[in-house]
């Protein structure tokens, strides 16, 4: 079972790196999305085998980590799932969800500011930006032409 | 300050940030809340430092440990406040205060009106949480909180250039965050714990058991080993921290991103963010991942850091000399200065742990702890100085409307206050003797002189090139005759930029204090260095007395063996008598003092060569 998870992590990771390296920013955003999944799966694999060989020789799934739910007395972790990796994943999912929302917002703002979502086109745009000296009014660190209530 | 007040250091900026979200658009209220919160963090951190620093400098500093919800250490969330956390949080809040004040007059009106204030507080929340946390997973959470806030700040102006650079910053950090998460998960899978003190305990037990085995006190079955793959994991984590810290070769994102930001935010980032990466290495590596004498893993990691330090210092300063814009010079310099901190870390992992500083007034001060103290001092001084340079650059731009060296000039006559501020900050960065940079570089270069002298030479050379690049800004910007028409008359800059001057002056004053009060700051830094290198007090403070029981058991076994075989030890006594340089561990136990550990012997030979001519 751990092997299956390991292969899953590898596949998801490969796909995400492939997407991250693409030129289209929407694909890059998808790559970010998959990257979070790959990391979460990898952490999930740390809780060990999800199945256990029962007394009858058949595979049975492990039980939820609540004492008194049929754990083996000698080594409870042999029959109960280790809950900590899942708690970690829960936190990580929230974080990667936040990052994803941010990246998608960034896409929208970029398409408005630069009118393209192609990294190549963006790179060309940047060259233009560097060559043009910014006029005084546009610099954010200029004292604003309009009188500022507090500074004046 | 009581131990449970430690949590306030993280909660205060969080609450302030949330209040500012509710009050968005009310600039004055937001500003007031932000300043009060930053002052509060500063005050709390200083109070904490006063509590833990003993009045007698030769004694070790204490720790304030807060177990959230009273869940005992390896299971609950631990917040630990020691000298390192305290001094960094105090410096970070002071730097944030300076940059924040500066932003009042340097940030465009409609940028400040939105969520700037809340994002700064959230950034401080993440930074403080990273500095305080006692487990690896919460370090990840602290990093992510800090990064989310910084993503927001990076894209605040939403100009086209900012957007373009934001992707580089965001994607690299997302990648690093995912790797961090995986590495933390694997640490849990391998060791069954994420608590730093618990991890340090495991490593300490493995070390003690292997020493006991080498001395013949225990059998081979009793030897504890670290899990396979522990060192590769350490390298994985080092990569993550190096990316945040801007170590060679992972610094390429930094000089592109920082110059695109509004200058107050650039100062904040240049001051704070790279230090968090350095802090994470300092916190986790000497205590956990770079263990002493377990299969040479510490050597491999020390090599990585040595190479990183050399290239980070030197290549980055070459890059800085070649730049033609003030912002870019300063941004590239952030990296070059991080190189000195990495140098300090590298010495600490490179030299034998027990090697003592000659003629030190502090009993049992090791070279490793001394180098680490230099690293801590350098982190503090660099936060302050680098941020103040960025803030001065902001005022220069107010005068000239640009940061291109070719278009600057004549600022010395136009604005003497700015010239004085900039000159003090620049010379502090270079390390001119009475100023703060000198004391940071001196200790690090001195500590590395014996064992890593090529790096020390490179450090001195980097200092000279730093002087060159600062003089470039000075002569182009201040001394040369003005080349372009005056964009803003000096009177207008002065009247509208009062808080910009205030923020810059605050930080320059702090830099002066770090230089002239270096002895005071070094008292804390030396305590911090000793605490970083000596994991035992940390383990005991977090896990309780019984945390070290197993380690003491192994040492007791060795001790009993020694007392039985007294004559055998006596043979070694002459060697030890002529080697007064090799000091004993910080918490000497009889077992360690008489430890005939063969791996210590190579360091003994150093003393036979007192001029340090040993080739590297």
The ipTM assigned to this model is 0.82
Q: Which residues pair with A80 in a beta bridge?
A: A63
pLDDT at B303: 87
CA distances from B372 to B106, B236, B285, B467 (A): 36, 22, 12, 25
Average pLDDT over residues B390-408: 82
Question: What is the tens place of the pLDDT at every residue in A74-94?
Answer: 777 777 888 888 888 999 999
Say yes or no for a CB contact (<8 Å) between B148 and A126: no
Asked if residue B515 has a cis previous peptide bond (ω within 30° of 0), the answer is no
C-alpha distance from A64 to closest chain B C-alpha (Å): 18
How confident is the model over B491-519, as pLDDT tens digits?
777 777 788 888 889 999 999 998 888 88
Q: Which residues pair with A53 in a beta bridge?
A: A59
Reply yes or no on whether the pLDDT at B144 is more than 70. Answer: yes
> Which residues of chain A make contact with B487, given a CB cutoff of 8 A?
136
Instruction: Please name the residue of chain A whose CA is at the shortest distance from the CA of residue B398.
Output: A142
Compute CA distances B508 → A70, B209, B382, B392, B571, whole Å. 66, 50, 12, 10, 58
The alpha carbon of residue B225 and the mean position of all alpha carbons in its chain are separated, in whole angstroms, by 30
What pLDDT, in 10s, does the model give residues B302-352?
A: 888 899 999 998 888 888 888 888 888 899 989 999 999 999 998 888 887
Would you say residue B87 has pLDDT above 90? yes
- pLDDT band at residue A143, thresholds of 50, 70 and 90? very low
> Which of B122, B167, B186, B403 is the best mutation test for A, with the most CBs of A within 10 A?
B167
Determine the Cα–Cα distance for residues A141 and B452; give it in Å rounded to an integer: 43
* Dist CA B567 CA B554 (whole Å): 21
As a whole number, mean pLDDT of residues B557-566 equals 80
Burial B44-61 (b: 16+ CB within 10 A, else e): bbbebbebbbeeeeeebb
Q: Which residue among A20, A38, A143 sits closest to B496, beta carbon to beta carbon?
A: A143
Under an 8 A CB cutoff, do B161 and A146 touch? no
Percentage with pLDDT > 70 across chain B: 89
Tell me the pLDDT tens digit for each residue of B417-455. Answer: 888 999 999 999 888 888 888 888 888 888 888 888 888
B295, pLDDT greater than 60: no
| Distances A109 to A105, A139, B190, B321, B364 between C-alpha atoms, Å | 6, 19, 43, 35, 57
Cβ distance B148 to A146 less than 8 Å, yes or no, reads no
B97-104 average pLDDT score: 90
pLDDT surpasses 70 at B226? yes
Q: Which two tokens stand for residue A62?
A: 């492990």
Note whether A113 contacts B158, CB cutoff 8 Å: yes
| pLDDT tens column, B31-80 | 899 999 999 999 999 999 888 887 777 777 788 888 887 787 788 888 99
For residues B128 and B357, what is the distance between their CA atoms, to the nearest angstrom?
32
pLDDT value of position B593 = 40
Nearest CB to B182 within list A42, A146, A150: A42
Find chain B residues with C-beta within 8 A of A91's C-beta: 137, 141
CB pair distance less than 8 Å for B397 and A119: no
Q: In the prediction, which pLDDT does B581 show?
A: 40
A4 pLDDT tier (thresholds 50, 70, 90): confident
Q: Residue A143 is nearest to which of B105, B144, B166, comparing CB atoms?
A: B105
Could you give the CA distance from residue B409 to residue B480 in angstroms, rounded to a whole number?
A: 5
pLDDT at res. A67? 76
Residue B578: pLDDT band (50, 70, 90) is very low
pLDDT in tens, A29-46: 999 999 999 999 999 888
Distance from CA of B551 to the nearest CA of A (A): 26
- Measured between beta carbons, the chain A residues lying within 8 angstroms of B153 are none
Least Cα distance to A142 among B86, B514, B386, B492 occurs for: B492
Give tens-digit pLDDT for B189-219.
888 888 898 888 888 888 888 888 888 777 7
**Candidates B109, B397, B495, partner chain A, best to mutate (most A CBs within 10 A):** B109
CB-based contact B57:B362 (threshold 8 Å): yes
Q: Provide the percentage of residues in chain B whose pLDDT is more than 90.
A: 23
The contacts of residue B330 (CB under 8 Å, 6+ apart) are: B258, B266, B270, B386, B389, B390, B393
Selected for mutation to probe chain A from B103, B150, B166, B185 (highest A CB count within 10 Å) is: B185
- What is the Cα B577 distance to its own chain's centre? 38
Beta bridge partners of B135: B195
Judge whether residue B15 has pLDDT over 90: yes
**H-state helical runs in B192-217:** 196-214
Range list of H helices, B365-415: 367-400, 411-414
Q: Please, which residues have CB within 8 angstroms of residue B334's CB and are 6 or more apart in sequence?
A: B246, B254, B258, B270, B274, B386
Q: A151–B108: do the CB atoms touch at under 8 Å?
A: no
pLDDT value of residue A116: 77
Least Cα separation, residue B322 to chain A (angstroms) = 17
The partner residue sitting opposite A110, judged by closest CB among B157, B163, B397, is B163
Secondary structure E strands in B25-84? 64-67, 78-81
Structure tokens at B375: 């690293």
Compute the residue count for chain B.
616
């Amino acid at each position: 079972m751990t092997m299956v998870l390991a292969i899953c992590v590898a596949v998801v990771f490969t796909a995400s790196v492939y997407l991250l390296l693409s030129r289209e920013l929407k694909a890059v955003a998808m790559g970010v999305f998959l990257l979070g999944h790959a990391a979460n799966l990898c952490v999930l694999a740390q809780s060990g085998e999800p199945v256990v060989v029962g007394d009858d020789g058949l595979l049975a799934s492990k039980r939820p980590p609540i004492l008194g739910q049929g754990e083996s007395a000698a080594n409870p972790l042999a029959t109960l799932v280790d809950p900590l990796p899942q708690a970690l994943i829960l936190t990580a999912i929230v974080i990667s969800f936040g990052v994803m929302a941010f990246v998608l917002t960034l896409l929208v703002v970029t398409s408005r500011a630069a009118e393209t979502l192609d990294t190549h086109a963006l790179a060309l745009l940047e060259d233009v930006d560097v060559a043009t000296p910014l006029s005084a009014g546009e610099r954010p660190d200029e004292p604003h032409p309009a009188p500022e209530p507090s500074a004046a | 300050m009581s131990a449970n007040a430690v949590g306030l250091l993280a909660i205060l900026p969080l609450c302030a940030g949330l209040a500012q979200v509710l009050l968005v658009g009310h600039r004055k209220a937001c500003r007031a809340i932000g300043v009060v919160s930053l002052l509060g963090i500063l005050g709390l951190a200083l109070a904490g430092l006063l509590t833990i620093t003993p009045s007698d400098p030769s004694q070790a500093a204490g720790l304030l440990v807060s177990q959230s919800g009273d869940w005992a250490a390896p299971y609950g969330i631990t917040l630990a406040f020691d000298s390192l956390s305290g001094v960094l949080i105090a410096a970070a809040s002071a730097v944030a205060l300076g940059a924040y004040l500066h932003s009042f007059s340097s940030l465009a009106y409609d940028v400040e009106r939105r969520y700037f204030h809340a994002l700064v507080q959230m950034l401080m929340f993440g930074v403080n949480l990273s500095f305080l946390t006692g487990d690896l997973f919460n370090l990840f959470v602290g990093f992510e909180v800090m990064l989310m806030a910084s993503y927001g700040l990076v894209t605040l102006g939403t100009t086209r250039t900012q957007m373009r650079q934001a992707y580089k910053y965001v994607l690299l950090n997302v990648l690093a965050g995912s790797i961090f998460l995986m590495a933390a998960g694997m640490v849990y899978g391998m060791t069954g714990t994420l608590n730093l003190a618990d991890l340090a305990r495991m490593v300490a037990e493995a070390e003690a058991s292997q020493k006991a085995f080498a001395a013949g006190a225990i059998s081979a079955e009793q030897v504890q080993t670290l899990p396979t793959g522990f060192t590769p994991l350490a390298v994985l984590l080092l990569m993550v921290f190096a990316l945040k810290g801007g170590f060679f070769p992972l610094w390429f994102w930094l000089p592109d991103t920082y110059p695109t930001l509004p200058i107050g935010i650039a100062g904040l980032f240049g001051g704070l963010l790279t230090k968090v990466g350095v802090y994470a290495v300092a916190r986790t590596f000497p205590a956990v991942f770079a263990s002493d004498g377990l299969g040479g893993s510490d050597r491999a990691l020390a090599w990585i850091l040595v190479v990183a330090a050399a290239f980070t210092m030197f290549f980055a300063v070459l890059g800085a000399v070649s730049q033609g814009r003030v912002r870019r010079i300063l941004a590239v310099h952030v990296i070059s200065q991080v190189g000195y901190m990495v140098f300090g870390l590298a010495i600490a992992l490179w030299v034998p742990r027990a090697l003592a500083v000659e003629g030190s007034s502090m009993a049992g001060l090791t070279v490793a702890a001394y180098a680490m103290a230099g690293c801590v001092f350098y982190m503090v001084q660099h936060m302050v100085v680098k941020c103040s340079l960025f803030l001065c650059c902001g005022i220069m731009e107010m005068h000239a409307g640009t940061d291109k060296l070719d278009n600057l000039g004549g600022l010395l006559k136009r604005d003497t206050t700015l010239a004085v501020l900039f000159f003090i900050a620049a010379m502090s960065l270079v390390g001119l003797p009475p100023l703060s940079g000198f004391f940071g570089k001196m200790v690090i270069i001195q500590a590395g002189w014996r064992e890593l002298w090529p790096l020390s030479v490179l450090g001195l050379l980097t200092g000279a090139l730093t002087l060159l690049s600062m003089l470039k800004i000075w002569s182009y910007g201040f001394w040369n005759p003005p080349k372009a028409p005056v964009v803003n008359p000096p009177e207008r800059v002065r009247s509208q930029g009062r808080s910009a001057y205030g923020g810059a002056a605050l930080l320059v004053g702090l830099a002066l204090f770090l230089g002239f009060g270096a002895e005071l700051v070094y008292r804390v830094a030396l305590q911090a260095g000793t605490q970083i290198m000596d994991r035992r007090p940390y383990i005991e403070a977090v896990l309780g007395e019984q945390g070290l029981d197993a380690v003491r058991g192994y040492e007791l076994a060795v001790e009993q063996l020694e007392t039985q075989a007294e004559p055998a030890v006596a043979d070694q006594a002459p060697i030890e008598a002529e080697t007064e340089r090799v000091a004993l561990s910080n918490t000497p136990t009889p077992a360690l003092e008489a430890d005939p550990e063969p791996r210590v012997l190579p360091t003994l030979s150093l003393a036979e060569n007192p001029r340090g001519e040993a080739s590297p």
